């Protein structure tokens, strides 16, 4: 019976790997691989067992996506449980019978991919060399020819020339290959492209697809880079290999739900390779090691459908006495790696992140300069404009350099800190070809106002946000709140991050203290001048004053922010001769002389903030123990209405709609 041929234990190893095309994704980096059944136990019994595995740590049911008329490639290798005593020749074969056996065993009905579109490199022959446990990678070439949306399967069997037994638990491997439409192409080519590095330990790259150009609906971002997988020394082999942490592995396992939607919008998705505290790194690989590492990168690109790689030569611990396969750090070694990558991945993007000059490829290899080999390079010191820096790199034109990288996380106030629109204009006018963004936090900030400030200069267009965002592991979006003038109107419950109060100590002396923590109060925000300003009623420690005489807040239409500055809220008149002014204040005095002192010299400092995606918004003050309060003048001194309050409300504020 056919199925028995593939399910019984087989001496001299008939090994079956089945590659199935469908839409589900289960992938992972090599360290995250799970083999069906236990291969460790096989090492404790007599004999040598062999089995087929996928490169790039791909699990069963991993899809290989074909885009339009582009071909796809699977990468297989043969691994033994013990080192081979002699060369073992393995022959892979495209095998329809193996697919039928898989369908019968698993109650599936996968259709064979057109056989005339399939081929194996080197006629399917590969060798496990004596003294080693695994073969080199074998490429399964899958040419375009299937129907988009149809599920196919390709079964590949392998035979070895002796000495290996295969457990029934390890006979079947499933690749999922899914024909997809070709990438959409931007109608008008951009002189300056946009690249965004996303810290996937915290954020979801799907958020980058929610920002589009107002005129034609195309994506704001050209390239999104998964930050980051690592280059590390494999403790078993001593060679450099790719390591993926749990967050990167999750993304690759779910490429259909996370990577493909961006590509379907026309956004290219790269993966960044980052050093990781051992002697392996982009600048230390020997020629042979560079060739080997480039092949592994290609396997990741082919299997997970990546559009390329960005390289960041940080955090490697380069050795002055390198181990075999490694050399002393040099830009020439780095250039060699990029050369090897370009040689076997001519259609993939290769980008460089540098900030020290020597942490980048330089010079030439085989007549190809570093500038010719890379697609782009960017300066990695944030919010600094490095005009002319590209001249340090051999053959690198301005059109391939990004001299002004913008960090857009909370550390830089969503990117506004240090941002200069004139620098964007200078970058464009000077002929640079790349604008880089790093570390967006789209669950904190909606970036449509910020990206518009950039795109008005680069593209004479605005950026729109769909209003949707994703948590790190989400496949479906959450509806957020857009930054708009109208978003701030209404009644709000405000909570301060701190407050101060006067307590009586054991010696019956009044003293200031701030252990009371946050306090709550209610405010009402109404329109003053549409699109420009608001009235805020009931603010802070003295609502009996601010409810009667509201503060005026300004709306910044560029940033989408709201700001409250010190101000006069009431000029004395017949009805109320007192003039009330709002100033920054903090605690002062001691004992019976405790008071809340005004600092009118800080009139240029504001409470500022913006709407959060969940509809709340935060306001940030000038610092701990400082608050905005109403004062009036008594005998030439600014004083608060009275000191008969329990708490003086200070610092920062979170507001939630009532």
271-293 pLDDT, tens digit per residue, is: 999 999 999 999 999 999 999 99
53-67, 136-150, 568-582 — which is least confidently predicted? Answer: 53-67
Q: Pairing state of beta strands 376-379 and 349-354?
A: parallel
Average pLDDT score over the chain: 90
DSSP calls for 319-369? -SSPPTTB----HHHHHHHHHHHHHH-TTSEEEEEESSSTTS--SEETTEE
462-485 pLDDT, tens digit per residue, is: 999 999 999 999 999 999 999 999
Is a pLDDT exceeding 60 seen at residue 432? yes
478 phi, psi to nearest 5 deg: -115, 140
633-650 pLDDT, tens digit per residue, is: 999 999 999 999 999 999
C-beta atoms surrounding 486 within 10 Å: 10
Average confidence (pLDDT) over 295-311: 98
Distances (CA, A) of 473 to 203, 248, 250, 532: 8, 11, 8, 38
Higher pLDDT: 512 or 3? It is: 512
Is a pLDDT exceeding 70 seen at residue 28? no
602: nearest Cα among 588, 585, 587: 585
Same fold, 2-180 and 193-479: no
Q: Pairing state of beta strands 193-199 and 223-233?
A: parallel
Res 172: pLDDT: 58
**With bands split at pLDDT 50, 70 and 90, how would you rate the model's confidence at 163?**
low
Res 198: pLDDT: 98
Res 196: pLDDT: 98
21-25, 221-225, 249-253, 330-334 — which is least confidently predicted? Answer: 21-25
Is a pLDDT exceeding 90 seen at residue 307? yes
DSSP calls for 4-52? HHHHS-EET-EEEEEEE--S------GGG---SS-STGGGGSSS-BEEE
Is a pLDDT exceeding 60 seen at residue 8? no
Res 9: pLDDT: 34
C-beta atoms surrounding 625 within 10 Å: 17
Residue % of the chain over a pLDDT of 90? 75
180-204 pLDDT, tens digit per residue, is: 899 898 888 999 999 999 999 999 9
Helix (H) or strand (E) holding 247: helix 246-253
Distances (CA, A) of 340 to 136, 288, 294, 295, 350: 17, 10, 6, 9, 11
* Annotated catalytic residue, options 100, 111, 291, 314: 314
Q: What is the pTM of this model?
A: 0.88
Res 99: pLDDT: 83
Q: Classify the C-alpha dihedral 256-260-264-265 as positive or negative.
A: positive
265-269, 309-313, 612-616 — which is least confidently predicted? Answer: 612-616
* The listed CATH number (3.90.550.10, 3.20.20.80, 1.10.645.10, 1.10.8.870) that belongs to domain 193-479: 3.20.20.80
Helices (H), 502-654: 543-546
584-613 pLDDT, tens digit per residue, is: 999 999 888 999 999 999 999 999 999 998
Res 42: pLDDT: 44
**Residue for token pair 């460089």:** 352
Give the whole-angstrom CA distance, residue 408 versus residue 382.
Answer: 9
Res 46: pLDDT: 59
Give the whole-angstrom CA distance, residue 498 versus residue 38.
Answer: 57
404-414 pLDDT, tens digit per residue, is: 999 999 999 99
34-67 pLDDT, tens digit per residue, is: 333 344 444 444 567 788 889 999 887 788 899 9
Res 97: pLDDT: 84
- Catalytic residue status for 314: yes
Please report, for the chain, the start and end positions of each structural domain, with discontinuous segments joined by +: 2-180, 193-479, 485-657
Give the whole-angstrom CA distance, residue 368 versus residue 8.
Answer: 53
Give the whole-angstrom CA distance, residue 361 versus residue 331.
Answer: 5
Residue 163 CB contacts under 8 Å (≥ 6 apart), including other chains: 12, 47, 48, 84, 85, 86, 88
**With bands split at pLDDT 50, 70 and 90, how would you rate the model's confidence at 165?**
low
Is a pLDDT exceeding 50 seen at residue 27? no
Res 157: pLDDT: 81
**Residue for token pair 């003039």:** 579
Residue 54 CB contacts under 8 Å (≥ 6 apart), including other chains: 62, 74, 75, 76, 77, 173, 175, 303
Average confidence (pLDDT) over 546-550: 98
Residue % of the chain over a pLDDT of 70? 91
Give the whole-angstrom CA distance, residue 23 versus residue 147.
Answer: 13
Give the whole-angstrom CA distance, residue 56 versus residue 304.
Answer: 9
The CATH class given to the 2-180 domain equals mainly beta
Give the whole-angstrom CA distance, residue 494 versus residue 541.
Answer: 12
């Amino acid at each position: 019976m056919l199925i028995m041929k593939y399910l019984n234990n087989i001496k001299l190893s008939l090994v079956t790997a089945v590659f199935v095309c469908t839409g589900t994704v289960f992938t992972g980096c090599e360290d995250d691989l799970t083999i069906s059944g236990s291969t460790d136990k096989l090492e404790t019994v007599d004999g040598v067992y062999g089995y087929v595995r996928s490169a790039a740590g791909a699990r069963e049911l991993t899809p290989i996506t074909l885009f339009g008329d582009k071909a796809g490639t699977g990468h297989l290798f043969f691994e033994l449980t013990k080192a081979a005593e002699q060369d073992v020749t393995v022959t892979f074969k495209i095998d329809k019978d193996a697919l039928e056996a898989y369908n019968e065993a698993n109650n599936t009905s996968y259709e064979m991919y057109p056989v005339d579109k399939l081929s194996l490199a080197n006629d399917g022959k590969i060798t496990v060399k004596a003294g080693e446990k695994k073969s080199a990678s074998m490429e399964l070439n899958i040419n375009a020819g299937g129907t988009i949306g149809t599920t196919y399967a390709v079964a590949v069997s392998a035979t070895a020339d002796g000495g290996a037994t295969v457990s029934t638990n390890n006979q079947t491997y499933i690749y999922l290959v899914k024909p997809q439409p070709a990438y959409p192409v931007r109608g008008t080519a951009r002189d300056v492209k946009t690249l965004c590095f996303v810290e996937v330990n915290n954020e979801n790259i799907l958020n980058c697809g929610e920002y589009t150009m107002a005129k034609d609906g195309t994506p704001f971002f050209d390239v999104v880079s998964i930050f980051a997988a690592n280059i590390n020394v494999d403790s078993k082999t001593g060679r450099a290999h790719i390591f993926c942490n749990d967050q990167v592995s999750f993304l690759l396992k779910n490429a259909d739900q996370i990577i493909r939607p961006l590509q379907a919008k026309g956004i290219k998705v790269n993966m960044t390779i980052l050093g990781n505290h051992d002697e392996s790194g982009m600048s230390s690989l020997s020629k042979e090691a560079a060739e080997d590492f480039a092949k592994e990168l290609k396997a990741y690109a082919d299997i997970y459908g990546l559009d390329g790689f960005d390289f960041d030569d940080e955090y490697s611990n380069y050795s002055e006495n390198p181990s075999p396969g490694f050399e002393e750090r040099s830009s020439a070694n780095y250039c060699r790696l990029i050369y090897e990558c370009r040689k076997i991945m001519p259609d993939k993007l290769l980008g460089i992140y540098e900030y020290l000059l020597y942490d980048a490829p330089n010079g030439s290899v085989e007549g190809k300069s570093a500038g010719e080999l890379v697609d782009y390079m960017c300066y990695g010191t944030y919010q600094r404009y490095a005009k002319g820096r590209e001249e340090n790199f051999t053959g690198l034109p301005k059109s391939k350099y990004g001299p002004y990288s913008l960090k857009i996380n909370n550390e830089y106030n969503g990117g506004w800190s240090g941002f200069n629109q004139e620098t964007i204009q200078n970058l464009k006018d000077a002929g640079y070809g790349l604008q880089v963004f790093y570390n967006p936090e789209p669950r904190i900030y909606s970036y449509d106002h910020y990206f518009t400030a950039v795109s008005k200069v680069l593209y004479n267009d605005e950026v729109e946000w769909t209003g949707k965002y994703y948590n790190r592991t989400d496949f479906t979006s959450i509806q957020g709140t857009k930054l708009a003038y109208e978003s701030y109107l209404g009644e709000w419950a405000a909570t301060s991050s701190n407050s101060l109060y006067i307590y009586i100590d054991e010696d019956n002396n009044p003293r200031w203290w701030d252990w009371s923590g946050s306090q709550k109060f209610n405010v009402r925000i109404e329109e003053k001048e549409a699109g420009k300003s608001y009235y805020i009623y009931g603010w802070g420690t003295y609502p009996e004053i601010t409810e009667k005489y509201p503060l005026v807040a300004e709306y910044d239409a560029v940033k989408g922010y709201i700001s409250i500055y010190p101000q006069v809220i009431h000029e004395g008149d017949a009805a109320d001769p007192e003039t009330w002014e709002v100033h920054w204040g903090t605690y002062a005095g001691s004992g019976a002389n405790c008071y809340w002192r005004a600092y009118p010299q800080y009139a240029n400092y504001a409470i500022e903030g913006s709407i959060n995606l969940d509809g709340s918004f935060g306001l940030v003050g000038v610092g701990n123990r400082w608050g905005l309060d109403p004062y009036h003048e008594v005998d030439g001194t600014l004083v608060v209405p009275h000191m008969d309050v329990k708490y003086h409300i200070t610092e920062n504020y979170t507001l939630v709609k009532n």
